[in-house]
Amino acid sequence: MYMDFKVYDNRCSKESGVTHFEGKGRITIYPHHHETLTDIYSTITHELIHWCIGKYKHVDVDGYQEHDLIFAMQWIDEYIE
């Protein structure tokens, strides 16, 4: 997976701080669309998990299940306490 960071966002949509290039293993992160450095780390982790699930396809999950799984993995300490 390749990650690029851009300070200028020329996309039409400003709703997300990341662009994922499907099938290319590349994401572009826009730091100014994140509030903290922790948010940027969370975005990187989130996209990396998406990439791993897509690359290795050991399970068949839809988009909603995938996001639920990623959320649980990122916030696991909240689930096990």
Q: Are 17 and 29 in contact (CB under 8 A)?
A: yes
The model's pTM: 0.69
Task: Count CB atoms within 10 A of the CB of residue 76.
Answer: 10
What's the CA gap between 33 and 31, in Å, rounded? 5
> Can you say whether residue 35 is alpha, beta or left, with left for phi > 0 and alpha for psi between -120 and 50 degrees?
alpha
**pLDDT tens for the 81 residues of the chain, in order:** 888 888 877 776 655 777 766 667 788 888 888 888 888 888 888 888 888 877 777 777 888 888 888 888 887 777 676
